[in-house]
Amino acid sequence: MKVAVVGATGLVGTVMLEVLQERKFPVTEFLPVASERSVGKPINFNGKEYAIVSMEAAIAARPDVAIFSAGGSISKEWAPKFAEVGTTVIDNSSAWRMDPTKKLVVPEVNAHVLSPEDKIIANPNCSTIQMVVALEPLHKAFNIQRIVVSTYQSITGTGVKAVKQYQLEQKGFEPAPEEMAYKYQIFENVLPHIDVFTENGYTKEEMKMVNETKKIMGDDSIKVTATTVRVPVLGGHSESVNVEFTQPYELADVRHLLETAPGVIVVDDVDNFQYPMPLFSRHKDEVFVGRIRRDESIANGLNLWIVADNLRKGAATNAVQIAEYLAAKGWIG
């Protein structure tokens, strides 16, 4: 398999290389792509050293698959050019997610929507991915009518600049304005603000969760409202999720559905203080679910606490899983 990784030197791109290696994806030719200033610089993959190549060189090589993690504007410009030469693009930016002509895929939920004709496939937002992995089996069983979600999102979701800002503040330094990834200090602080604010008072991150959830789960009738929050955590997103079903349920059935769901690990033993935490989700590909309890304030309500590594299942792993699905079908390679 001839594989290009666009944005190979970034925070997600670096994890992408790790995941490809760990999952033994059949890479026979590797094309690391980064910015023009990085072209020619060495990068290690699978025990070998490769030189970073330009977009043009990668396109000329006609890779079977190109996994993008380089930002929306770059994807908008270059993904179609890869697709034109027959490459299947799996894009980690927000560029194509709500495009009605493009599939938005979480393999555990809706891989079945993919076809050999799909040449640009969108990887969802990190916070949406982990939520729908946990909720899909419950929706099938009890029919979700409303979701209220509050997120506690790691600074790694913003990128290297945010991590550097945090580390400077942690050491007692005040970052220069150009070193600030956020408007305010993030160390020992919480920011109820992820991405830009929209006209309705919600942020783009919050609206991503609203719109992407409906598209991935294939149900526009689900009502979703979100509050997304940045917390000073180095890796791992957490979510408090309140769900209202149209059908009655038993907690034992909910627990069984989650324990047998693909990609989910239940960690829920409050007597022994066992519950999901970002610290324990790091470098893992699964979605962890705990604090499973009935919402006693409404009929058919349920509360969950959902945690995942945002750089892995929330980004790199999900993209590689899409590639694995395509390869298993014989649609790439």
Enzyme catalytic residues? 126, 237
161 vs 281: CA distance, rounded Å: 22
Decide: helix, strand or coil at residue 138: helix
Cβ(182)–Cβ(203) below 8 Å: no
Cβ(316)–Cβ(22) below 8 Å: no
- Residue 229, strand partner residues: 152
Sign of CA dihedral 141, 105, 69, 61: positive
Q: What six digits make up the tokens of 279?
A: 């610290």
Pairing of strands 237-245, 144-153: antiparallel
Which helix (H) or strand (E) segment holds residue 167: the answer is helix 160-170
Tell the burial category of 78 from Cβ atoms under 10 Å away from its Cβ (0-12, 13-18, 19+).
buried
Looking up tokens 């609206």, which residue turns up?
207
